[in-house]
Structure 1
């Protein structure tokens, strides 16, 4: 007789004192998968997690599974299936992975495409980091010329003192801002889906302090490599996506260079102003000194009249 073989089965039971949410999280961490994919194991039906094991291997797998909080057990493999109904029931079970640590499929029983269909103006689907930056760059390049045209029209209306024109321009500017905001939200929601997060987390942008760095989190955190509860992964990045994404580097480089040149120009102007003021305060011009010039006597007679005649005391 050949050596008996064993299988590890699980029917959704938990170990005493273990919360089902904790067990799902531990099992998802063990399988390196999403919690949504793990939930199919807790539908109450008996699922064979691993088959054709020796007794020692079965004990090793069982210890690893029991540490997650689930109550799995070892059963002896049946050599021959005589019940056709049981055979049909087993055929509905998803094919077993080579290792119990392999991630389960995201959506059991559903044939997902290899890559998701790109939908820029939808809250469904997933986009990666580079595509998120590329789409945002396209949105900015489309919006900036429109904003420039509105700015020129606004200057013309202000110079012409047209109140009606200003009101109409303000309404158009408001709707343009709303359209830009909505499209930006759609891009962010799809980026959150790629990470495996809910799109409602976009509201964190409205929270003080958190909203200042949350956009950076969206741009930095990588997405799931495989399918998650929001669908299959996005297609590979095209050359256009990479080129548009690289434009952000050029954009920030221009901003940095402009800031440096503006700072240097301001420092130079301040230095020249201080130098000129110090020079003016240290120099004395003849215009600032008042010199009183005594006019000479017009004639000798006037000079004689100005002098007093001596007094002769003997004559008096």
Structure 2
């Protein structure tokens, strides 16, 4: 047995306390259509909203329409002609035969294909205004005479990069920059003199308080180590070497030779990746470096002669 089918009929009647404009807006949202097309439902004639529905499906449509504010009715299907929103296949074929498809155009901005119109239905531009604006921009971007032509052999009109300074800045308490051999010796001597004086003060404080004296000596030793590493890194930068190579001083055997490399090896005279060469040595730098060399030579001589003198005295019976 064939299942009974129903249709949804709407006559324009509204649910109680529902304004007409609100119902029209609700139906436009419900049918996902333009509000102007909903006006057909309020022409005073019975309109078929949906047909060929089961009883359960028809009840769902009735509930949705009632919630939208439109009083609709469920009626059994029959063959009597009524006004319907649903076009039959014959009506669609007749409509297409009467109105052949119009020639399409392409939007110059977004490329959307549509029938001829002044406005694009996708991006919303006014096509004539858009084309006029594009032509105006094209004319303004065109070169004004031969003066706009740039010769490929012309020099650049802007500086490619800033010129490096001839000499770099001195930064005693930093791991950036470069220093030469004499300045490395001079600064090392200053560190030694400063540490000697500070250790003397710490010794006096130790006589008063051993704890305070030990703390001061520890802080002085750490400070001396930090500054020594900083100037050592700058000395390595003068070669173009990484400052991490200062750790080679901790390697057995190599650590006893690497300080002589830092003292004797000349730095580069050109700009390297660590900056410009250090400034020329001042007179004070030269004097301090000479004094430091004198102390080193005196120490070496003493280290060689003192054991010999001790042996001579022991051999002489003193």
Q: Report 1 or 2 for greater relative contact order, CA contacts < 8 Å, sequence distance ≥ 6.
A: 1
- Is the strand fraction higher in 1 or 2? 2
- In the superposition, the TM-score normalised over structure 1's length comes to 0.49
Largest Rg, 1 or 2: 2
- In the superposition, the TM-score normalised over structure 2's length comes to 0.48
